[in-house]
Amino acid sequence: MKIHTARRTHGFTESVIRMMTRLSNEHGAINLSQGFPDFESPDTLKIGAARAIYDDVNQYAITWGAKRYRDALAARYHDWYGLDVDPEAHLTITCGATEAMMAVLLAIVDPGEEVIVFEPFYENYGPDTTLCDATPVFVPLTAEWRIDFDRLRAAFSDRTRAIIVNTPNNPTGRVFTRDELEKIAILCQEFDAYAITDEVYEHILYDGARHIPMATLPGMRDRTITISAASKTFAVTGWRMGTIVAHPELSDAIRKVHDFLTVGAAAPLQEGVATGLEMLPPSYYEGLADVYGAKRDLFYPALVEAGFHCRKPEGAYYVLADFSDLSDLPDDEFAFWLTRTVGVAPVPGSSFFHNPEDGRRLVRFAFCKTEALLEQAAERLVTVRARV
């Protein structure tokens, strides 16, 4: 029998991020590849979810999200950003931000339309656009990971349906400034395009920076689709709890796609997140900057000392590091070597670029790990120079 698979899958490779986790496990390395915490999630959420299972909240939730979760999230959006979110009309709960991005693109982009993606980019955005038969238009950030607005303007056209904006940014650690966001917003309005934001690191910003949701900028409320998740905020990446805030008519289309893709996110886990959103005080969210900031302040100098060139992350929990002074190997071989020989697993940089050559000198490290583990990783990385 001749096996047939759809053309849309032919360009896909296995997720490099998840492949590195497997390689790391095989070699017993310290896994700084896939961005997930190795420490405990808040008891409030765990107890909330466990109680929901015992209370038999075990059947389908409302397809666009349990009312309690939507109500609690809407209240927090108001506290955090002064955003008025109607839980009945604006909010959809999905299986992680991953499904959220897919459902949004399927709901708003027609085949052949263009979606602008900054580069380097989180590896899902390319396949996401391909799956809805859209054309990704990549706009490289500068060497400092800033936006080149001439290039950005040149990327917009009457075919542009949307731009994906991820701040705080994975993998660069950039936090786009208000000025940068405003310039993007002006282009969206001029070309009648949507901003689809990925704000999953919204509470992880350093040095006193505050997150600015695109939806709060003038003229952007109705043309922004705000995606976030519980994963990073509450260290529950395995729960797959994503959220979408969008104009009611957009939400209507998004909810239909979401319904047919998944029916809904796990009902008892939605109760768990709702419990967290209801009960955790503002200091919990404010404290995330200190928790992750301490990790950054331990790990970033260690990378510099080890001979990597990198920019200090302003937010999120990744560092994209240039290893040119340490090795001539291409990024994937260097990442494999580091995993096998040094015992620290990063992600090869090429997985964040559509042209792999652009990431050949880079690897990404995730530092959302206990300080003890990061110290151990630092001790290993400082030996790299002597080993190559």
Taking the complex as a whole, the smallest distance from the CB of residue 335 to ligand GLN amounts, in Å, to 13
Please report, as residue ranges, which positions from 169 to 208 form the binding site for ligand GLN (by CB under 6 A): 170
Cα 121 to Cα 141: distance, rounded to the nearest angstrom: 10
Q: Pick between residue 170 and residue 228 the one whose CB is nearest to ligand GLN.
A: 170
Is 101 an interacting residue with respect to ligand GLN (CB under 6 A)? no
Please give the radius of gyration of the chain, using alpha carbons only, rounded to the nearest integer: 21
Name the closest residue to ligand GLN (Cβ): 35
Please report, as residue ranges, which positions from 19 to 58 form the binding site for ligand GLN (by CB under 6 A): 34-35
Q: Cβ contacts of residue 121 below 8 Å, gap of 6+?
A: 138, 164, 166, 352, 353
Taking the complex as a whole, the smallest distance from the CB of residue 202 to ligand GLN amounts, in Å, to 14
Taking the complex as a whole, the smallest distance from the CB of residue 134 to ligand GLN amounts, in Å, to 20
- Own/partner long-range contacts of 134-140 (Cβ < 8 Å, ≥24 apart): 134/105, 134/109, 134/110, 134/161, 135/159, 136/354, 138/354, 140/358
Site residue total, ligand GLN (CB under 6 A): 7
Q: Pick between residue 18 and residue 385 the one whose CB is nearest to ligand GLN.
A: 18
Taking the complex as a whole, the smallest distance from the CB of residue 208 to ligand GLN amounts, in Å, to 25
Distance from chain centroid for Cα 208: 21
Quote the tokens at residue 253: 């289309």
Single out the residue of 258, 226, 221 nearest to residue 245, CA to CA: 226
Cα 126 to Cα 375: distance, rounded to the nearest angstrom: 34
Please report, as residue ranges, which positions from 122 to 161 form the binding site for ligand GLN (by CB under 6 A): 122
Q: Pick between residue 273 and residue 368 the one whose CB is nearest to ligand GLN.
A: 368
Taking the complex as a whole, the smallest distance from the CB of residue 68 to ligand GLN amounts, in Å, to 26
Among 9, 12, 18, 89, binds ligand GLN (CB under 6 A): 18
Cα 110 to Cα 114: distance, rounded to the nearest angstrom: 9
Q: CB burial class (10 A; 0-12, 13-18, 19+) of residue 227?
A: buried
Please report, as residue ranges, which positions from 295 to 314 form the binding site for ligand GLN (by CB under 6 A): none
Taking the complex as a whole, the smallest distance from the CB of residue 160 to ligand GLN amounts, in Å, to 26
Q: Pick between residue 171 and residue 264 the one whose CB is nearest to ligand GLN.
A: 171
Q: Pick between residue 18 and residue 210 the one whose CB is nearest to ligand GLN.
A: 18
Taking the complex as a whole, the smallest distance from the CB of residue 117 to ligand GLN amounts, in Å, to 15
Q: Pick between residue 200 and residue 217 the one whose CB is nearest to ligand GLN.
A: 200
Q: Pick between residue 170 and residue 226 the one whose CB is nearest to ligand GLN.
A: 170
Quote the tokens at residue 16: 């490099």
Which residues sit opposite 344 in a β-bridge? 30
Please report, as residue ranges, which positions from 311 to 370 form the binding site for ligand GLN (by CB under 6 A): 366
Q: Cβ contacts of residue 82 below 8 Å, gap of 6+?
A: 216
Taking the complex as a whole, the smallest distance from the CB of residue 193 to ligand GLN amounts, in Å, to 25
| Exposure string over 60-79, b if 16+ CB within 10 A, otherwise e | ebebbbbebbbbbbbebbee
Q: Pick between residue 122 and residue 176 the one whose CB is nearest to ligand GLN.
A: 122
Residues that bind ligand GLN (CB under 6 A): 17-18, 34-35, 122, 170, 366
